Structure 1
């Protein structure tokens, strides 16, 4: 009896050629739709916030730019389907990823600063809602994730023992940060300000919109870092 070990990735297993092309096009369309959704949601929230009318008005703008747009684009640029940066080299994508992540931190900290300043002016208490607590947790997780990324960027300087393993941890933690950010964005739509601004079917549409890019990002990361299995055939 002879046994052959066949290594495979479970993604697309058992698909014939016509089904594979359909699967590839569906993935491409979903990635493009995620780009459009992230940009559209950011623009809509920015318009609803009417930036400049108050200190608070800049908070939703900065946070949507940071977590709905920049964080999404910083991850999706590694996608091979439907990404506007598919022509870039791996090194170019990594550098662009770091640029996006740095902007995420800068914009998010700026948005948090506007919120703190707004509450100080109105003399309202801090951290009394689930949204604010989730926001603090998301911001802290973003800083930790960036620290992990710095170790990957300078492995010798940071004395990283196993860069491949750290890379896997970085991707996994990045997915956790993105999902946490998605929950924080959705929780913002339960705030008094948002419910007073958007009502009815439009409110439900806003609640569902952040979930689609999250599904695409989750699919991309799990497909890229899913452990390969082995099948032994006789």
Structure 2
């Protein structure tokens, strides 16, 4: 009988925290929901603040921070967090619609990334400045490459007839892994932008540290969501 009770109480491990008391369980769930909502707000806030600082239209380069923040800070974040059940504003029950919206965000991300990259190259060409001489620019190239790679994996997932049935689960893992790497690279690239002369001439003192925290919190939420969804689940046996 004890053995039967143990087997009936076995549950899969997840990030929600089974095994805790009921009060701690609900507290943890609500903290997760608040974290997801905060990540949405911070990603949007970072785009708005970046747009205010760069004053788009004043120069060719002024469009670079706007396009990149819109693509990598907002669209990339929203495209991942819409699969979260913890406080996401995109409350589609159908996974089909979530996938479609995910692809919409990813398409806008690629367009914004390519446009922002083009504005940066054009601006440096006009000023006759060398390209890819800073850590920020090199990280940006790596981020774009990882983003294109995860998009290619996503195309095969969107059209599964292009691949074998046995490769589909593994490709889903590759797509999620590339997406996580691309997001972390994007976060590091955004943070490195805050050490450039352009940014530090506009933002100083305490406000600079606030800007530094804005991309970090959504990155933690996204990383937790992806790892919780794709890490192997284990059974609790005691």
Per the shorter chain, which TM-score range?
A: over 0.9
How does the TM-score come out when normalised to structure 1? 0.95
Which residue in 2 is equivalent to 1:8? 12
- Give the aligned length: 233
**Cα pair distance change 1:2/1:83, threshold 3 Å:** closer
Tell me, yes or no, if structure 1 residue 204 matches structure 2 residue 206.
Answer: no
Partner of residue 29 from structure 1, selected from 15, 26, 34: 34
Q: Larger % of helix: which?
A: 2
Give, in whole Å, the separation in 2 of the partners of 1:87 and 1:149: 20
> 1:151, 1:160 within 8 Å by CA — same for their partners in 2?
no
What is the aligned partner in structure 2 of residue 156 from structure 1? 161
Which blocks of at least 5 consecutive residues in structure 1 are unaligned?
none
Q: Residue 117 of structure 1: CA displacement?
A: 0.1
Residue 79 of structure 2 corresponds to residue 82 of structure 1: no
Calculate the TM-score normalised by the size of structure 2.
0.93
Q: Please provide the CA RMSD for this pair.
A: 1.6
Shift in Å, 1:191: 0.5
| Cross-structure match for 1:222 | 227
Gapped regions of structure 2 (runs ≥ 5): none
C-alpha displacement of 1:158: 3.7
Selected match of 2:150 from 123, 137, 145: 145
Partner of 2:179: 174
State the structure with bigger RCO (CA 8 A, min sep 6), 1 or 2: 1
Residues 79-133 of structure 1 show CA distances to partners (whole Å, capped at 9, x for unaligned) of 1011111234110000000010011001100000000000000000000000000
Asked if 1:41 corresponds to 2:46, the answer is yes
